Structure 1
Amino acid sequence: MARVRISTTVDQDLLARARALAPGSTDASVVEAALESLLRSHREAEVDAAYEAAFARTPVPTTDEWGDLETFLDAASRT
């Protein structure tokens, strides 16, 4: 993995609060964790949007070769 050096200015209070969450960590590791979290949250939003689009195309009450979800959930709740 190639590493790059960044130089930036951030809000002092924001950095202090982030440092407090990871005592003993370097600023570089705090920034790296923040970037990873940003990418993860964007990926989760993409997955959520894909599910939302899929359910919009095929609503839950739709019957297919497996049956329908409402009947399954009703039967499952009785066991």
Structure 2
Amino acid sequence: MTHQWLSVWFIARMFEDMRHRVLGFSNAVLVDAEYSAYDDQPLDEPGEWGDLASFREAAARS
């Protein structure tokens, strides 16, 4: 009986590991896609809310 539970636990553990790998990969892809918008606009080019270079400089001074 213990042997059966060990097999069930092992299969469940493999499934859980696979699920984490798939979801982790898909989350990384989504985050990369969201941040790709910053690649479209140079840091020193003014945008709707100002430019990112000025923001970084102000943040570094604070």
TM-score tier after normalising by the smaller chain length: 0.5 to 0.7
Detail structure 1 runs of 4+ shifted over 3 Å in the superposition.
Answer: none
Q: State the percentage of identical aligned residues.
A: 24
Q: Which runs of 5+ in 2 are unaligned?
A: 1-7
TM-score (norm 2): 0.60
The within-5 A match list for 1:16-31 is 26-31=9-14
Provide the residue aligned with 2:61 in structure 1.
78
Q: Whose helix proportion is higher, 1 or 2?
A: 2
TM-score (norm 1): 0.51
Higher-RCO chain (CA-CA 8 Å, sequence separation at least 6): 2
The alignment covers a number of residue pairs equal to: 55
The within-5 A match list for 1:6-17 is none
